[in-house]
């Protein structure tokens, strides 16, 4: 059955003219085997280090050919979409591409501010997200501020600019009474040539203001945040020069989806990973690993007869706030609620090959981390248990990571879809206890190149990635055959033998002792424990 197509879909064929294929190769899917145990073995064998490396190398080559990154809204992301589409076609799928728009922002070079010929320190200057671009010079004019250490209403009302001289650079103070976007828009309406917003000077609010204007439509003016002291010093300045070099625009990006040709479409298992990276680097650990992992699994399962429909998804614009997954879920909620209700569960794979990796599973039963106000749909605990049982069955320790809703599974759990997945760690630091369980180096980040230029092909632990990809493949296949323990559909799944995944037979099987570490992946993995 083809993927249901809500609004804003285009076919892969239609997209091909706009995308440039960077790397392709033929894929031989494994022969179908109706024995669950044999099929699991065949699929985990097919999800090999060689296959994973093939895809990672392709993503690296794409980045190298496209300004060093694969961020949504760039040619590198378009080429990544093209690569995934062509690989899926070669494996026998009919992929679909869902397009959507999003606010894109890039600071190409750091912003600078000079006052009466002297440039401010870089630490005192930060461009506002969605700032306009350009270099302007003009007389600095304070607007409704004396530099007092207060939360100011400076610039919040059009009347604040009653005596403003058009062409001047507006100097405003931060406050909690209106947004940066309102301040900038009022300044632009008054004829300002640029906007400078300095901090309040209150406790813990003296450093540089690093803010956002919310959208590319907020203003066309160069808009820069300043530290409190830098702003106060400008009260006595005459002429300032403000220079920003940015791209702020609404752009189009894409989700890629493909599903198996067999299985119950009213009991669909969704498997996802975000395909985009950040502008700073090639995005190989984050999240070339997850994207490559589920692509290898999709290829391996292409000729497998499944009881449930399996839909694979590569999400766009995750790094900008889970936008691809949010768009997909929202589109179903608005246009095809039946298709949303058909999703039995969602499995997420965001960073599964960190160089100093841990084997972490989303804490769907809240045994380690308090979920707070995060919605945890019933059935998520069973998904967590299935992953831990797999790791135990092959003699590997595993631990928990926060089920916080801040990766692409977030929109699914908000919609009530049971979810789970794997993660190997980001900038959080590995503990001694975790090093003893998983290997690697204690006192060092799981991924010291997280969201930076060194996140390239050398920034992956292939052994860890293969371990996690095998676990992902086994659990995807397990739910492709039966979702009984999640939603009661189908027969209980009874697979035995090494690497088999059956019903959980205890709480947190396969865990080591729990010990919390520091912060992790910014969108979805604050903490993990082993």
Which residues are catalytic, by number? Answer: 318
The whole-angstrom separation of Cα 30 and Cα 307 is: 18
Q: What are phi and psi of 86, to 5 degrees?
A: -65, -35
Q: What are phi and psi of 110, to 5 degrees?
A: -65, 145
Coil, strand or helix at 196:
strand
SS3 sequence of 129-190 = ECCCCEEEEEEEEECCCCCCCCCCCCCCCHHHHCCCCCCCEEEEECCCCCCHHHHHHHHHHC
SS3 sequence of 228-268 = HHHHHHHCCCCEEEEEEEEEEEEEEEEEEEEECCCCEEEEE
The whole-angstrom separation of Cα 294 and Cα 273 is: 7
Residue 425 · residue 446 · CB < 8 Å = yes
Among candidate residues 81, 409, 415, the one with its CA nearest the CA of residue 255: 81
Coil, strand or helix at 509:
coil
Integer angstrom CA distances of residue 474 from 271, 301, 399, 455, 478: 12, 11, 18, 28, 6
Coil, strand or helix at 315:
strand
The whole-angstrom separation of Cα 404 and Cα 62 is: 32
Please classify residue 448 by burial: count the beta carbons closer than 10 Å to its beta carbon, then call 0-12 exposed, 13-18 middle and 19+ buried. middle
Residue 440 structure tokens? 């690697």
Query: Number of C-alpha atoms within 13 angstroms, CB side, residue 387?
Result: 30
Please list, in sequence order, all residues whose beta carbon lies within 8 angstroms of the beta carbon of residue 83, skipping any fewer than 6 positions away: 21, 22, 23, 24, 58, 59, 62
Q: What are phi and psi of 449, to 5 degrees?
A: -105, 15
Q: Which helix (H) or strand (E) holds 73?
A: none
Distance separating the N- and C-terminal Cα atoms of the chain: 41
CB atoms within 10 A of CB 394: 15
Among candidate residues 476, 455, 475, the one with its CA nearest the CA of residue 351: 455
Q: What are phi and psi of 49, to 5 degrees?
A: -60, -35
CB atoms within 10 A of CB 176: 9
């Amino acid at each position: 059955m083809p993927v249901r197509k809500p609004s804003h879909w285009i076919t892969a064929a239609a997209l091909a003219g706009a995308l440039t294929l960077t790397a392709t190769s033929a894929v031989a899917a494994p022969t179908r085997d109706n024995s669950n145990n044999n099929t699991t073995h065949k699929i985990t064998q097919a999800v090999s280090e060689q296959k994973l490396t093939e895809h990672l190398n392709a993503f690296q080559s794409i980045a190298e050919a496209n300004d060093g990154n694969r961020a949504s809204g760039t040619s590198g992301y378009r080429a990544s979409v093209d690569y995934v589409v062509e690989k899926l076609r070669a494996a026998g799928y009919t992929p679909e591409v869902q397009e959507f728009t999003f606010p894109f922002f890039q600071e190409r070079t750091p912003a600078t501010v000079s006052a009466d010929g002297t440039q401010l320190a870089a630490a005192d200057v930060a461009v506002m997200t969605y700032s306009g671009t350009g270099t302007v010079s003009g007389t600095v004019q304070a607007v409704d501020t004396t530099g007092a250490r207060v939360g100011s209403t400076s610039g919040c009302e059009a009347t604040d600019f009653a005596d403003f001289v058009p062409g001047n650079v507006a100097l405003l103070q931060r406050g909690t009474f209106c947004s940066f976007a309102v301040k900038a828009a009022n300044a632009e309406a008054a004829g300002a040539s640029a906007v400078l917003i300095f901090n309040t000077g209150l406790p813990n609010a003296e450093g540089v203001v690093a803010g956002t204007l919310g959208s590319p439509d907020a203003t066309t003016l160069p808009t820069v945040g300043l530290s409190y002291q830098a702003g106060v010093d400008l009260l006595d300045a005459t002429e300032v020069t403000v220079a920003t070099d940015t791209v702020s625009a609404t752009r189009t990006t894409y989700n890629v989806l493909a599903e198996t040709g067999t299985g119950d479409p009213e009991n669909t298992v969704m498997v996802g990973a975000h395909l985009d990276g950040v502008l700073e680097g090639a995005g190989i650990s984050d999240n070339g690993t997850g994207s490559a992992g589920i692509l290898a699994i999709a290829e391996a399962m292409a000729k497998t007869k499944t009881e449930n429909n399996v839909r694979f998804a590569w999400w766009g614009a995750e790094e900008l706030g889970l936008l691809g997954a949010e768009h997909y879920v929202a589109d179903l909620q608005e246009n095809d609620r039946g298709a949303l209700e058909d999703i039995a569960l969602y499995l997420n794979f965001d960073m599964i090959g960190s160089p100093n990796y841990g084997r972490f599973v989303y804490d769907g039963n809240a045994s380690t981390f308090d979920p707070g106000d995060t919605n945890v749909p019933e059935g998520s605990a069973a998904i967590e248990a299935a992953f831990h049982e797999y790791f135990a069955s092959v003699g590997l320790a595993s631990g928990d990571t926060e089920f916080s809703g801040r990766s692409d599974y977030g929109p699914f759990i908000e919609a009530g879809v049971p979810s789970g997945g794997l993660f190997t760690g980001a900038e959080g630091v590995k503990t001694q206890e975790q090093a003893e369980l998983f290997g690697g180096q204690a006192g060092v980040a799981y991924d010291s190149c997280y969201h930076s230029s060194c996140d390239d092909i050398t920034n992956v632990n292939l052994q860890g990635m293969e371990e996690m990809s095998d676990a992902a493949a086994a659990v995807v296949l397990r739910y492709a055959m039966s979702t009984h323990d999640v939603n009661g559909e189908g027969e209980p799944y009874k697979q035995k033998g090494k690497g088999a995944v059956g019903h959980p037979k205890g709480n947190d099987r396969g865990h080591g002792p729990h010990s919390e570490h520091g912060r992790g992946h910014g969108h979805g993995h604050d903490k993990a424990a082993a």
